[in-house]
Every structure is written in structure tokens, then in C-alpha cells.
Amino acid sequence: MLLLELSPEEEQGVNSSSLQIADTLGSSLVVGLAGALVTGFGADRLRPGLAVAGALVAAIAALGVLAALRLTPPKEAG
């Protein structure tokens, strides 16, 4: 929502599309990397593979939270 609020009206469509592409691509890459990690550990070591993949996803989520904490709401005019 912050992206659309800060975008000029004529750029909102392009920015919204870019945000959707980045979101989808990022999710796909993380899921693919996690799957590759689990596969790399092999079927006989499934539990450690899932633990490493889970740690990767948790680390990315933590980075997202830290990045979101840096955002500040726009100042109200007036």
C-alpha cells in the first residue's frame, strides 16, 4: 500500500505490476531453493534437509520484518 500511496497516479499501474512480479518471482525462487536444499540432503536425511530449508525461510522472513521496521508512515499534511 505504501508503494501506491507514494507513487504518482500515472505510475501506479506500472509500480503495482512490478511489485506483483517481484513478489511472485521472489516466492518462486525461495521455494525452489528450499526444495533444492531438501533434495540435496537426500531421502535418507530428510529431517535435516527440512530443518535447513525451514531455517532459510525463517531467515528471509526475519529480514523482511527488519526491512519493514524501517518504513515510516507518510506525514499528514496540515
How far is the C-alpha of 3 from the C-alpha of 11, rounded, in Å?
10
What are the cell numbers at 38? 531438501
pTM, two decimals, is 0.71
| C-alpha triplet 61, 11, 23: angle, nearest 5° | 20
Cα–Cα distances in angstroms (integers) from residue 63 to residues 4, 19, 66, in the given order: 22, 18, 5
pLDDT score of 1 = 73
* Phi, then psi, of 47 in degrees rounded to 5: -60, -50
E strand or H helix that includes residue 10:
none
What are the tens digits of pLDDT across the range 34-78?
999 999 999 999 999 999 999 999 999 999 999 988 877 767 755
